[in-house]
Chains A and B, each alone.
Chain A
Amino acid sequence: MQKTSSLKIDGQTLELAYDFNLIAEAEDAAGCNLLAALENLQDLTAMQLRGLLFAAIVSTPRLTLLEAGALIRVNTISVVTTALADAYNLTLPASEPKPEPAAPAPESSPV
């Protein structure tokens, strides 16, 4: 059973999970290296964040890349990155030190 974290956004609840197969398959659509993104969750580019979110959403019906990207806005970016980090941490073995979740972007920061 896949462990999922919940992302409450825009009045809907999306289930996020880490699945390497989905990440590998999302790379073509995302147009960037998502493995590099996984290794550096604190310093994601916009394309990587959108790609990771697209790959992580396991709720049905699946969102498109553009729909996933539309969820990421200045006021939601911190919620999204935290939910992604939670989904990643859920798959870590209990003994593994958990990486710090991505630092939330300040609300007022320009994009």
Chain B
Amino acid sequence: MSAAGRKWRIIFTHRALLDIEDLTGLDAMRVNLAQLSARLLRAVLFAALREAGSEGSIEDAGAMLKPGAMDRIRRTLIEAWRASFPDPVTDPEPESGSPAPPPLSTLDAWAKARYDFHLSDEEWLAMTPRMLHAIALRNLERMRQSEMMLGVLCAHTVNSSFRAPRTPTQARSYMLHPYPEEPEGPVYGETIMSVFADAPKHKVN
């Protein structure tokens, strides 16, 4: 973003989000940028500039928001905000059966980073929520792989035991974090043929 005669790299790390919380008293992880107030816009700009290395005051940030430049600055801030947060979940996992959970608060995000991912405070502060989310997804995948291996073992043991269930159990039944089920697609002739392709062929007399 160009402002005050130089270019700034705008990014919303957890450090910048904590600055916004300090200035506004709002939970920065749950701020709705579509309904920015003047006070919030100034705080967001100030936090972003500070993260980019500015030593100016919040009044200096407010002074940049002149009518001719305000729209451009706001658009840039919103773009940077979107780029710093994970993409919104459009299709929550079907097995949850409940609406998507609310976004993490900064305290939750800090606890997750410290406890689950063993990040230091500095590492967490320098990360954006999007980066933390990427780590969370990677962690989830690792957990699923481990659970899948254990689930295969459990399913095999149960299915090959005495009094095995008539319908074989699946590995995913034993997973705490099962992979989301793939939605059923339309059934075409090719789909049916591909299912029967592997079936043993018998000669009909």
Report which A residues bind B (CB closer than 8 A). Answer: 18-21, 23-25, 27-28, 33-36, 38, 88, 91-93, 96
Contact = CB atoms under 8 A, between A and B. Distances in A.
A35 B67 contact: no
B99 interface: no
B201 interface: no
Given A20-B62, A21-B62, A24-B62, A92 B38 contact: no
Contact of B37 (A21, A35, A88, A91): A35
B186 interface: no
Contacts of B58: 21
B15 interface: no
Nearest to A51: B38
Given A21-B42, A21-B59, A33 B66 contact: no
Contacts of B39: 24-25, 27-28
A61 B205 CA distance: 109
Contacts, number: 51
The majority secondary structure among interface residues of chain B is helix
A93 B35 contact: no
Nearest to B36: A35
A24 B67 contact: no
Given A33-B37, A35-B36, A35-B37, A24 B42 contact: yes
B41 interface: yes
Interface in B151-174: none
A63 B63 CA distance: 22
Interface string B137-155: 0000000000000000000
